[in-house]
Amino acid sequence: MSETNAYFVAVIGAGPSGLFGARELANQGARVVVFNRDIKPGGLAEYGVYPDKHKMKEGFRKQFRQALANDNIIYYSNLTVGAKGDFTLDDLRSLGFQAILVTVGAQSSKWLGLPGEDLKGVYHSKPVVLAYNLLPPYDEQKFDLGKRCAIIGAGNVMLDLAYYFIHEIKADEVIAVVRRGPAEVNFTKEEMTRSIANLDLDAFEAEMKRVTPALQAVNQDPEVGRNKVLAALPKAEPKFGDTRFRFEFLSSPVQMIGENGRLKQLEVEDNILVLKDGELKSRGTGHKRILDVDTVIFSIGDKVDASFGLPSDSNEFLKNPNPRYPVDGLSYEVFDPNTNATIPDVFIGGWARKASEGLVGYARKDGTNASKAVWQYLQTLQPTTPNLEGVAAKLKSLKKPIVTKDDIKRLEAVEAAEAQKRGLEEFKFATNDEMLQAMGLNVTA
Ligand SMILES: Cc1cc2nc3c(=O)[nH]c(=O)nc-3n(C[C@H](O)[C@H](O)[C@H](O)COP(=O)(O)OP(=O)(O)OC[C@H]3O[C@@H](n4cnc5c(N)ncnc54)[C@H](O)[C@@H]3O)c2cc1C
């Protein structure tokens, strides 16, 4: 089929922001090629959202299938884009792509740089979550998870991990170590309903009593925090097993203490709250305590992968503060400090624009808005003849199996049949090779 003239756009990453961004551009009439690292589309909606949320995940998958069904979208996966990827951004430019939308998410982990982070038993949430969601190759990594776990953080991911330690690890104790107070927790009531029945309410009240003077010192009514944490009680899901779930508020990790390379204890420092620039921040008091735990999971957010090759600061790609095409007042453009200017043809959206920000609905909106900025930029150019042959030739030269939309349909059918055969709600192959074989692709191509 000969190609008619159209704007020719590459979207890097097929998480929610990339898929909805691609759909927006395709609906405008652009010819869009989506390049994705993971074989399956969906990003963290597929590999982050907790595995037993079947209905939610299936709902997302349905929307992703609909987006990918658009004839203006081509999907290639099992490849990477980036400075050290199968395609560099310059490769894409020389193939004739007129704009590049980067929606690769936030692939690196934030660490605090504390002593003991390298001990066995100390992990970041991301690889643990990706492993229990069966994303190759993370699912082949071995984690030494024990029965007394401290999770550092106060968001929904902390709660997902608490749920995992209650239901799968069947831990004796899960402690959420929270830098600020109960009123500043970041998780939703809905997520808390899943684990609140395991919350040790006596321990919670004792903890409230311990931190009340610090809350009152900033004129905070302790009831605000108490109500926020306990709001999930009326809709609590049934208690599971004997895991005791509790909070350590106003506490920051100081160091992990080990023996023979394995974690034995976590040292935390007590905090007070201080008002700074209109926001309540934590400040260490110097008073330290020891928690006897055998596992520490840092659930403090992700950061972008600096090796992708776009200019970045410690956590995020650099955005042009004065965008040419702002959408809802936000910048979707990358700023290059070397040239002191925007990189004209590169745009960012979703978690690649703002790491660990919001849920799937947010990523969807952000990817769509990023595409609106891309579309405005394209209006300054002439449509072109999309060089699909050139892209196909480059893919062939990679000498590895490349996955297309039709392959994904076959994989989904095989996995659905396997789930039915095994009487499971859902079945996922655990390795890329198994997925490629199920799609009938030559693993060593
Ligand atoms: C543990 C956890 C639980 C969550 N639970 C929920 C929930 O219950 N409900 C909810 O609504 N939201 C949930 N979220 C949030 C939601 O998953 C995110 O908001 C959303 O997935 C972000 O979308 P994104 O497209 O920006 O990035 P991602 O989803 O991270 O997608 C990035 C995509 O880019 C691809 N990629 C990465 N690097 C490259 C590269 N170099 N080249 C090519 N492709 C690349 C990846 O393969 C991936 O497909 C959860 C998140 C986490 C971490």
Ligand 1 geometric centre to CA of 46 (Å): 8
Ligand 1 geometric centre to CA of 290 (Å): 35
- Residue with CA nearest ligand 1 atom 49: 43
Render pLDDT for 409-430 as a digit per residue (tens, 0 to 9).
999 999 999 999 999 999 999 9
Q: State residue 290 phi and psi, 5-degree precision.
A: -110, 135
Query: Which two tokens mark 143?
Result: 């984690």
End-to-end CA distance of the chain: 26
Provide mean pLDDT across the span 40-65: 97
User: Are 370 and 349 contacting, i.e. CB atoms less than 8 angstroms apart?
Assistant: yes
pLDDT (0 to 100) of residue 51: 96
- Residue with CA nearest ligand 1 atom 6: 49
Provide mean pLDDT across the span 281-289: 98
- Residue with CA nearest ligand 1 atom 7: 49
Taking the CA of residue 18 as reference, the ligand 1 atom at the shortest distance is 25
| Cβ-based neighbour number of residue 27 at 10 Å | 16
Q: What is the DSSP string of 8-57?
A: EEEEE--SHHHHHHHHHHHHHT-EEEEEESSSSS-THHHHTS-TT-HHHH
Tell me what percent of the residues of the chain surpass a pLDDT of 90: 97
Q: For residue 288, list its beta bridge partners.
A: 269
pLDDT (0 to 100) of residue 278: 87
Question: b/e string for 282-292 if b means 16 or more Cβ within 10 A?
Answer: bebeeeeeebe
Pocket test for ligand 1, best of 359, 371, 398, 432 (most atoms within 8 A of CB): 359
- Residue with CA nearest ligand 1 atom 21: 44
User: Are 30 and 409 contacting, i.e. CB atoms less than 8 angstroms apart?
Assistant: no
Residue 263 pLDDT grade (very low, low, confident, very high; cuts 50, 70, 90): very high
The whole-model pTM stands at 0.96
What's the mean pLDDT when you consider all of the chain? 96
Ligand 1 geometric centre to CA of 18 (Å): 10
Render pLDDT for 11-26 as a digit per residue (tens, 0 to 9).
999 999 999 999 999 9
Ligand 1 geometric centre to CA of 44 (Å): 3
pLDDT (0 to 100) of residue 445: 60
Q: For residue 9, list its beta bridge partners.
A: 32, 99
Render pLDDT for 77-115 as a digit per residue (tens, 0 to 9).
999 999 999 999 999 999 999 999 999 999 999 999 999
- Residue with CA nearest ligand 1 atom 53: 48
AA identity, residue 31: R
Q: Is the predicted pLDDT of residue 375 greater than 50, yes or no?
A: yes
Provide mean pLDDT across the span 383-403: 97
pLDDT (0 to 100) of residue 1: 47
Ligand 1 geometric centre to CA of 205 (Å): 36
- Residue with CA nearest ligand 1 atom 1: 48
Taking the CA of residue 157 as reference, the ligand 1 atom at the shortest distance is 1
Dihedral, 350, 51, 227, 359 alpha carbons, nearest 10: 10
- Residue with CA nearest ligand 1 atom 48: 43
- Residue with CA nearest ligand 1 atom 38: 104
Q: Is the predicted pLDDT of residue 284 greater than 80, yes or no?
A: yes
Provide mean pLDDT across the span 37-62: 97
Query: Which residues are near ligand 1 (CB < 6 Å)?
Result: 12-18, 35-38, 43-45, 48-49, 53, 80-82, 85, 103-105, 107, 129, 157, 160, 308, 350-351, 358-360, 362-363
Tell me what percent of the residues of the chain surpass a pLDDT of 70: 99
pLDDT (0 to 100) of residue 72: 97
Ligand 1 geometric centre to CA of 16 (Å): 7
Ligand 1 geometric centre to CA of 352 (Å): 9
